């Protein structure tokens, strides 16, 4: 069966990796990417596939209902992987409106467009809508707490987390009310190629290359479960192709690491792999800064459900994944260096100053 898959936010980090994964794994599928190309969307991430005619790229916003209706019909979309979202917690604290507009209203608009498209085709049972979300909707864990799972109550702590929680509830409500074949996934922190430079791992790598201080929030003891993005793409593929509509699947890397320990691992790898650094050892660049407001203490995912039901499990340890990530950033300066200019550079300067204040 040939699928016609729409990936929203496909010029972003996770979705961009999913585009590459799907094009390689399912070359006979029709692949369509929709992206608004805001600051975190980089067409260069998928440009080789566009140039090769492996996908159709549509520059547009998920809040544009006429565009969605036309796109779904013209490309005869049967499957949707919805990853378009505002995703940076710091940005949500200073400007929450954009997060509500995209993550809540945009998800609603996309669900409604897909529902109309699905109903016009006599509600085919094999169609799927996968809504990709985050573990941040569950709130924060104490060190002794068990990991999050599919039954964990929601307790979002930031505007970003609240907006994603709202979109999760919308997706489930559309499945329950209208019978729309919706699935939801909640993942832990992703990392790997094409990660936007404002995030912790690429920010650390780039600051080391530039000889700039590495800001670490608080005492660096906040813990995250790190999921290599290629492992996540395999999980999303499994959920979209074999998951049961109406179900939620928690996806985690089973790699809990404190932020400070993660930064130190990156420093060691950069000292080993980067031939010329302005300052060595890189750990000398670490600076502790005022903690983020409402900074969640710990995230961790129990991924046993997806492992037992769909046979997926993470294959990449955090040590392996970080090495691959460092090697990718060192080899792909032409991808990330243009992102450090103009408006983005101005924003990063403001954030950098705020973190060191």
Is 90 designated active site? no
Is 135 designated active site? yes
**Neighbouring-strand partners of residue 79:** 5, 128
Selected catalytic residue, list 35, 135, 225, 302: 135
Measured CA to CA, the distance from residue 27 to residue 55 in angstroms comes to 10
**Token couple for 124:** 């085919």
Question: Do 288 and 216 touch, CB atoms closer than 8 A?
Answer: yes
**Token couple for 356:** 């060191």
Measured CA to CA, the distance from residue 341 to residue 83 in angstroms comes to 26
Selected catalytic residue, list 136, 198, 231, 256: 136
Is 160 designated active site? yes
Selected catalytic residue, list 160, 217, 228, 329: 160
CA geometry: angle at 63 spanning 43 and 51, to 5°? 20
Query: Which residues belong to the active site?
Result: 135-136, 160
């Amino acid at each position: 069966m040939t699928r016609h898959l729409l990936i929203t936010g496909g010029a972003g980090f996770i979705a961009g990796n999913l585009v590459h994964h799907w094009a390689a794994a399912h070359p006979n599928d029709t692949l369509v990417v929709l992206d608004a190309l805001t600051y975190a969307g980089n067409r260069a991430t998928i440009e080789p596939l566009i140039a090769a005619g492996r996908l159709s790229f549509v520059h547009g916003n998920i809040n544009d209902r006429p565009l969605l209706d036309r796109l779904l019909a013209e490309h005869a979309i049967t499957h949707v992987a919805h990853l378009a979202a505002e995703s940076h917690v710091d940005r949500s604290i200073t400007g929450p409106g954009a997060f509500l507009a995209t993550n809540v209203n945009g998800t609603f608009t996309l669900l409604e467009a897909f529902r109309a498209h699905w109903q016009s085709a006599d509600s085919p049972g094999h169609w799927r809508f996968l809504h990709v979300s985050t573990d941040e909707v569950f709130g924060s864990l104490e060190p002794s707490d068990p990991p999050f799972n599919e039954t964990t109550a929601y307790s979002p702590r930031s505007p970003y987390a609240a907006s994603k929680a709202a979109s999760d509830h919308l997706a489930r409500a559309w499945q329950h009310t209208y019978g729309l074949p919706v699935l939801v996934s909640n993942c832990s922190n992703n990392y790997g190629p094409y990660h936007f430079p404002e995030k912790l791992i690429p920010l650390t790598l780039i600051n080391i290359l530039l000889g700039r201080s590495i800001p670490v929030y608080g005492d660096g003891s906040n813990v995250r479960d790190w999921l290599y993005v290629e492992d996540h793409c395999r999980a999303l593929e499994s959920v979209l192709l074999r998951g049961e509509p109406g179900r939620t699947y928690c996806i985690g890397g089973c790699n809990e690491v404190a932020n400070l320990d993660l930064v130190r691992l990156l420093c060691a790898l950069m000292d080993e792999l980067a031939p010329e650094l302005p300052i060595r050892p890189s750990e000398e660049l670490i600076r502790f800064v005022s903690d983020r407001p409402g900074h969640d203490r710990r995230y961790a995912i129990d991924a046993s459900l997806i492992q037992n039901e769909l046979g997926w499990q993470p294959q990449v340890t955090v040590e392996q994944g970080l090495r691959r990530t460092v090697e990718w950033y060192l080899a792909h300066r032409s991808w990330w260096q243009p992102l450090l200019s103009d408006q983005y550079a101005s924003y990063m300067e403001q954030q950098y100053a705020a973190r060191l204040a």
